[in-house]
Chain A
Amino acid sequence: DAEITQSPRHKITETGRQVTLACHQTWNHNNMFWYRQDLGHGLRLIHYSYGVQDTNKGEVSDGYSVSRSNTEDLPLTLESAASSQTSVYFCASSGYTTGELFFGEGSRLTVL
C-alpha cells in the first residue's frame, strides 16, 4: 500500500543546531507540504512543492528550508533551531483530483 512516512518521530535538540526532518511518500504525488501544529491551533503551512526542483514558501517559512530532488522526498531543514520551533511537524502529499491531503504520522520536535 502507498504511504507517507516521517523520521524521526521524536527529536530533542538544542538551540542553534541544524535539524532535518525527513518525509518520504510512495503515492507518486507531485504535491508535497510541510505543516506545523502547535497546541490548540490548526495546521500552519511552512513550505510546499508542486514537483521536482519546485519549492514555495508558506505562511510561516522563516527559519525553515526545503529541497525537492525527486518525487518521493521533501526534507525540512531548520537551519538554526529556536525554542519557538518546538512543535509537531506534519508532512503531507496530494494528487491532482480533489487535492485531499495524505498525512505522515508527524514528527515531534523539542528545542531546548
Chain B
Amino acid sequence: GQNIDQPTEMTATEGAIVQINCTYQTSGFNGLFWYQQHAGEAPTFLSYNVLDGLEEKGRFSSFLSRSKGYSYLLLKELQMKDSASYLCAVKGTNAGKSTFGDGTTLTVKP
C-alpha cells in the first residue's frame, strides 16, 4: 500500500520562501509529482522527480530523496496567487497510477 504524509496547512508572507514537505511509504515507487490546486479548480501539474536531487523550474523547485522517502516543494518569492493546495502524489507503476496525499493548503498573506 501507499502512505503519504504532508502538513495540512501552512501560512507564509508575500515575497518569502516556503518549503512544503512530503514523506511517503510505498510498496512501489516510479516517481513523485507535485500538483497545485486552487479552490474550486482542478489540480495542475507542477513538477516530477524520479531521481534523487533538486529540480528547479522558475520560482518552484522540488527535491527528492528516495532512500529517506522524502520530498519537498520549495516556493520562492511568494505571490498572493500562490495561495492554493499543494498535492504530493507517488506513482507506483510505470503505467501512471498515482496515489495522493491529502494536500497542504498554503495561505499567502500580504
Taking Cβ atoms with an 8 Å cutoff, the residues of A that contact B are 31, 33, 35, 40-45, 48, 50, 58-59, 90, 94-96, 98-106
B interface residues, Cβ below 8 angstroms from A = 4, 8, 30-31, 33, 35, 41-45, 48, 50, 87, 89, 91, 94-103
Residues of A within 8 A of B102 (CB): 40-42
CB-CB under 8 A from B42, the residues of chain A are: 90, 103-106
Do B31 and A103 touch (CB < 8 A)? Answer: no
Instruction: List B contacts of A102 (CB < 8 A).
Output: 45
Among B8, B50, B91, max chain A CB count under 10 A is at: B91
Given contacts A35-B100, A44-B100, 7 further A-B contacts (CB under 8 A): A41-B102, A48-B97, A50-B95, A101-B33, A101-B35, A101-B89, A101-B96
B100 engages A94 (CB within 8 Å): no
